[in-house]
Amino acid sequence: MTTTDTEDRNRKRQADEDVDIYNEDGNVRSDFLARLGAAIADRDTLFLRQNVARLHESEIGDLLESIQPDQRLALVRLLGDDFDMTALTEVDETIRREIVDQMPNEQIAAAIGELDSDDAVYILEDLDQEDREEILAQLPFTERVRLRRALDYPESSAGRRMQTEFVAVPPFWTVGQTIDYMRDEEDLPYSFSQIFVIDPTFKLLGAVDLDQILRTKRQMKIENIMRETNHPIPAEMDQEEAAQLFEQYDLLSAAVVDENERLVGVLTIDDVVDVIHEEADEDIKRLGGVGDEELSDNVISTVRSRFLWLLINLGTAMLSASVIGLFDGSIEKMIALAVLMPIVASMGGNAGTQTMTVTVRALATRDLDIYNAGRIIRREAGVGILNGMLFALLLGVIAGTWFHNYQLGAVIGAAMIINLIAAALAGILLPLLLDKMGADPAIASSVFVTTVTDCTGFFAFLGIATWWFGI
């Protein structure tokens, strides 16, 4: 992508806009959506070019997610070459596939050539292998090689996220030569914050920040002012681990190197912000057992995403029911047990979910490891004991007053202490165990923690009551 093309696109985005598509709540304005729908129906390309084409790609992405599926495809077709393909990186996968599948490969190839390499890879990786190869074949050789190299890296790796456009110079150049090169060379990234230093084999030697270049006299050699690169990122590294390096060391950008420590790309903070958002979104969804579900998914896809974990939950619920079945005689003789036992299980489930959420997040951010696990387990056990005692006292008084039987209050209080301790231990030990086994604790912990707290709560309450009252 040439500097001229990039500047033209940037000027289009930064044009003096008189269109505000958002209301005070940050949602797309309904009146603008109505005008947009009418313009699409009337094939009013003038309105679309003046009011949509020059919007920022994130704004266009919001519009695509807000309008109907048939309007999305019509909007893309009506805008033609004025449609900014970068907007497809701002929508969920279902919408992106829906749009790209309807576009001719020739149009995609032409648009891909105008994108930064990281955005191009983001779109290409969703395509079928045959379509991807056909599109790549239409690109210039150098660009085709760059994109294929990025696509060869594992999904969700730093290599997939990196931008292959960067500025690199040899160590023997002077500052003056470097500045002249940046001024004269047309094929440079539009925005960058540091210059990398490489040897003839492209092995990474160091880096120089732009502010250092500007503060140094022209005759000074680059090797005299360069520093060791801050935490170069292996291309095979998982994108979440790379994001954690950015967070830990407050990086704006970082070099990406291959297995031979050769510079192959650069990872920038804007891409890392997207990674952090995606990983957090993924963890939240997995905790709820909804997998990779998107808001734009249809009914069948959504059912398919949720059915498995609901089925597993049904099995664990049957296990809890079987525990209750062991004490059906006791429940028949004392109806109060049936009224109170859901309270014990519910409190345990909520307490376990609290501990599990903190644990899963700590594992994801690498804040919980073998060195501090013992201390955290002891802390959670202490929380379980103290909360158990407090709620045992509170619920014991309530139950005793409610049913005029303070022995029953003592029984449910004892069961509450046992279940909250079990909930605390299950909430931290089960995610740790699953993580140790290589399973994702976010997607597997919830159903197991709930099962432990339900079974423990029912067994403790009904068992103690049966023993205490001799029923």
Please tell me whether residues 147 and 175 are part of one structural domain: no
Q: Per-residue pLDDT averaged across 373-399, rounded?
A: 94
pLDDT at 263: 95
More confident residue, 150 or 20: 150
Quick check: is 304 in a domain?
yes
Is it the case that residue 259 has pLDDT exceeding 70?
Answer: yes
| Mean local confidence (pLDDT), 229-245 | 90
Looking at the predicted structure, is the pLDDT value of residue 60 above 90? yes
pLDDT (average), residues 44-68:
93
Using the predicted structure, report yes or no on whether residue 249 has a pLDDT greater than 60. Answer: yes
**Taking residues 33-55, what's their average pLDDT?**
93
Whether residues 276 and 310 fall in one domain: no
Q: Considering 286, 320, 352, which residue would you say is the last residue of a domain?
A: 286
CATH number where 210 lies: 3.10.580.10
pTM, 2 dp: 0.69
- Whether residue 127 sits in one domain with residue 228: no
Band the pLDDT of 289: cuts 50, 70, 90: low
Domain end call among 286, 311, 337: 286
Mean pLDDT of the chain: 88
Give the pLDDT band (50/70/90) at residue 17.
very low
Q: What is the pLDDT of residue 393?
A: 95
Per-residue pLDDT reduced to its tens digit, 407-434 = 999 999 999 999 999 999 999 999 999 8
Task: Looking at the structure, tell me whether residues 313 and 434 fall in a common domain.
Answer: yes
On whether residue 294 sits in a domain, the answer given is no
Residue where a domain terminates, one of 142, 161, 180: 161
Look at residue 297 and tell me whether its pLDDT is greater than 90. Answer: no
| pLDDT above 60: residue 10 | no
Pairing relationship of beta strands 253-257 and 263-268 according to DSSP bridges? antiparallel
Determine contact, residues 452/422, Cβ cutoff 8 Å: yes
Task: Please indicate, yes or no, whether residues 133 and 269 belong to a single structural domain of this protein.
Answer: no
In the predicted structure, residue 444 carries a pLDDT above the cut 70: no
**CA 117/CA 163 separation, integer angstroms:** 5
Do 235 and 268 belong to one domain? Answer: yes
Amino acid at 463: G
Amino acid occupying residue 159? G
293 located within any domain: no
Q: Which residues pair with 208 in a beta bridge?
A: 195
Q: Are residues 344 and 266 in the same domain?
A: no
- Average pLDDT (354-368) is 86
Of 398, 399, 386, 392, residue with least CA distance to 413: 392
Integer CA distances (angstroms), 356 to 178, 363, 383, 406, 445, in order: 53, 10, 13, 33, 7
Per-residue pLDDT for 6 more than 50? no
Query: For 241-268, what is the mean pLDDT?
Result: 92
Q: What residue numbers bound the domain in which 70 lies?
A: 3-161
Does residue 316 surpass a pLDDT of 90? no
Task: Look at the chain and report how many structural domains it folds into.
Answer: 3
Burial per residue of 101-136, b for 16 or more beta-carbon CB atoms within 10 angstroms, e otherwise = eebebebbeebbbbbbbbbbbbbbeebeeebbeebb
CATH of the domain at 464: 1.10.357.20
pLDDT, residue 370, reads 81
Same domain, 92 and 146: yes
